[in-house]
């Protein structure tokens, strides 16, 4: 009998990974349901690679041949529109295949359509391509098919993916110009120290004059950069790799994540983005009928911040005991107060899902505004620092020139 590796959400809201023997994938999924689990994936056990640990990663569709985040969001939105308009799934998939903008999307959707036409449920067909469709995506589609709300579920998924992509795009686009300006500044200073300044060194040496202190310091720095610049870059690369390995350990990673959330300016932006991701994922899951405990178990694995994960775990235990979700989140002091207040209001009015989505909208907008302000501060700050460094180099050279003039006079 074939064996399957499974990923599901247990009745207590935790992720459950296992291995079972079953006649087919559908039988394995049905057995999980009878055990009270919410199945998210059952894939043949090839004796090697385990089920993916990540439930929803920031990079949806990783790997060669997998769908990009933009393609996945567009596919989900088109399917939601077509199904909402009354089209059947086969016609909706055929429309996507015929209008696909890339060969990759055409191939993936074509494979989905072939499986669906052979009688496979859409969720089972999606589970065959885990690089393109994460476990949360597959699990929600499976729940939508079981409840007869596939169009609404896909619409919610499309909104979730579009919001996440828009927020990530805002962060990246906002940081491109400051990053380029910083690289240009460092390159300009290095060029002055290693190529421009050495042109004047023979002139200074031939004069035999005592050069001013700033000029001697500048020449020493230039010599050090020219002699050991490559080695310094290599050491920085090694330190970066070592730091990455250290941050994979639970203790250092937790300390680093806590420090990040408490940094001035950057910490505030990180908390806003964290609250947006938390609210958007939690609200989407609750709106699609997932129980609170199970939804929190999924949300916990999407945050990417160990300090926030610990806070959500404490809130999950509190919610299971009937004490509520907002209190422990507020006590952790990691999420913005607005998030805590809206979640408390949602608990009091039995509207936790809509309130979580409302909180997500607010914090997504605040994240975008905060990024704009940060860039508006970073750009002139980098420009001023670069100008000061260049002016200092030029001033040191002018002092040396003036000392040579005084000696000649």
Residue 4 to residue 47: CA distance in whole angstroms = 10
- Confidence at residue 121, expressed as pLDDT on a 0 to 100 scale: 86
For the chain, the C-alpha Rg in angstroms (whole number) is 28
Segment of 59-63, 158-162, 259-263 carrying the highest mean pLDDT: 259-263
Q: In the structure, what pLDDT confidence band is assigned to residue 100 with cuts at 50, 70 and 90?
A: confident
- Confidence at residue 60, expressed as pLDDT on a 0 to 100 scale: 37
* Phi and psi at residue 72, to the nearest 5°: -65, -40
Instruction: Write the DSSP symbol of residue 193.
Output: I
pLDDT digits (tens, 9 = 90+) for 272-287: 988 988 888 888 888 8
Region 106-119: mean pLDDT is: 88
Judge whether residue 236 has pLDDT over 60: yes
- Confidence at residue 51, expressed as pLDDT on a 0 to 100 scale: 32
Region 165-174: mean pLDDT is: 77
- Give Cα separations from 315 to 12, 15, 250 (angstroms): 13, 16, 20
pLDDT digits (tens, 9 = 90+) for 5-32: 777 766 655 556 777 877 777 777 777 7
Torsion-angle region of residue 13: left (phi > 0), alpha (psi -120 to 50) or beta?
left
**Residue 118 is encoded by which pair of tokens?**
């052979």
- Coil, strand or helix at 59: coil
Residues 310 and 400: beta-carbon distance below 8 Å: no
Judge whether residue 268 has pLDDT over 80: yes
CA atoms 30, 32, 34, 37: torsion sign = negative
Q: How many helices (H) and strands (E) does the chain have?
A: 16, 3
- Coil, strand or helix at 288: coil
Judge whether residue 243 has pLDDT over 80: yes
Torsion of CA 329, 333, 334, 340, to 10 degrees: 40
- Confidence at residue 345, expressed as pLDDT on a 0 to 100 scale: 92
Region 84-94: mean pLDDT is: 87
Region 177-204: mean pLDDT is: 79
- Confidence at residue 52, expressed as pLDDT on a 0 to 100 scale: 31
Residue 143 to residue 291: CA distance in whole angstroms = 12
Using alpha carbons only, give the angle 159, 372, 283 rounded to the nearest 5 degrees: 25
Region 47-71: mean pLDDT is: 49
- Confidence at residue 45, expressed as pLDDT on a 0 to 100 scale: 63
CA atoms 95, 99, 101, 102: torsion sign = positive
- Confidence at residue 391, expressed as pLDDT on a 0 to 100 scale: 84
- Give Cα separations from 243 to 246, 250, 322 (angstroms): 5, 13, 41
Region 280-303: mean pLDDT is: 80
Mean pLDDT of the chain: 79
Judge whether residue 399 has pLDDT over 70: yes
Residue 130 to residue 113: CA distance in whole angstroms = 16
Q: What percent of the chain has pLDDT over 70?
A: 87
- Coil, strand or helix at 143: helix
- Confidence at residue 205, expressed as pLDDT on a 0 to 100 scale: 67
Query: When comparing pLDDT for 175 and 314, which is higher?
Result: 314
Helix residue ranges, H only, 35-134: 69-84, 89-99, 103-117, 122-127
With tokens 């074509």, the residue in question is: 110
Residues 312 and 303: beta-carbon distance below 8 Å: yes
Q: In the structure, what pLDDT confidence band is assigned to residue 73 with cuts at 50, 70 and 90?
A: confident
Q: In the structure, what pLDDT confidence band is assigned to residue 82 with cuts at 50, 70 and 90?
A: confident
Judge whether residue 98 has pLDDT over 80: yes
Residues 256 and 247: beta-carbon distance below 8 Å: yes
pLDDT digits (tens, 9 = 90+) for 301-336: 778 788 888 888 888 888 888 778 888 888 888 888
- Confidence at residue 61, expressed as pLDDT on a 0 to 100 scale: 38
Contacts (Cβ under 8 Å, ≥6 apart) of 212: 396, 399, 400, 403
């Amino acid at each position: 009998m074939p064996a399957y590796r499974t990923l599901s959400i247990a009745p207590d809201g935790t992720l459950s990974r296992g291995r079972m023997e079953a006649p087919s994938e559908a039988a394995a999924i049905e057995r999980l349901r009878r055990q009270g689990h919410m199945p998210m994936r059952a894939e043949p056990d090839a004796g090697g690679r385990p089920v993916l640990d990540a439930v929803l990663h920031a990079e949806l569709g990783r790997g060669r041949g997998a769908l990009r985040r933009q393609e996945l969001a567009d596919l989900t939105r088109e399917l939601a529109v077509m199904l909402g308009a009354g089209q059947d799934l086969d016609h909706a998939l055929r429309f996507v295949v015929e209008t696909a903008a890339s060969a990759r999307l055409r191939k993936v959707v074509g494979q989905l359509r072939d499986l669906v036409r052979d009688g496979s449920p859409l969720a089972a067909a999606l589970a065959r391509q885990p690089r393109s469709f994460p476990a949360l995506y597959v699990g929600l589609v499976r729940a939508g098919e079981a409840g007869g709300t596939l169009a609404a579920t896909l619409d919610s998924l499309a909104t979730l993916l579009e919001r996440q992509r828009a927020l990530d795009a805002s962060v990246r686009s906002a940081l491109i110009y400051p990053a380029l300006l910083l690289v240009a500044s460092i390159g300009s200073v290095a060029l002055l120290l290693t190529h421009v300044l050495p042109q004047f060194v023979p002139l200074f040496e031939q004069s035999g004059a005592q050069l001013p202190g700033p000029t001697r310091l500048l020449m020493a720095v230039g010599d050090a950069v020219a002699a050991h610049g490559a080695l310094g870059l290599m050491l920085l690369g090694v330190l970066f790799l070592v730091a990455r390995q250290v941050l994979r350990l639970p203790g250092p990673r937790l300390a680093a994540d806590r420090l990040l959330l408490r940094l001035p300016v950057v910490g505030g932006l990180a908390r806003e983005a964290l609250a947006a991701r938390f609210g958007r994922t939690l609200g989407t899951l609750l709106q699609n009928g997932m129980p609170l405990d199970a939804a929190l178990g999924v949300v916990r694995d999407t945050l990417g911040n160990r300090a926030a994960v610990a806070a959500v775990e404490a809130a999950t235990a509190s919610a299971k005991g009937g004490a509520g979700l907002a209190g422990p989140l507020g006590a952790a002091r990691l999420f913005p107060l607005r998030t805590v207040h809206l979640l408390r209001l949602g608990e009091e009015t039995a509207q936790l899902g809509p309130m979580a989505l409302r909180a997500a909208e607010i914090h997504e907008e605040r994240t975008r505004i905060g990024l704009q302000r940060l860039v508006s501060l970073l750009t002139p700050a980098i420009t001023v620092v670069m100008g000061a460094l260049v002016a200092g180099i030029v001033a040191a050279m002018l002092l040396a020139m003036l000392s040579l003039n005084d000696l000649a006079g």
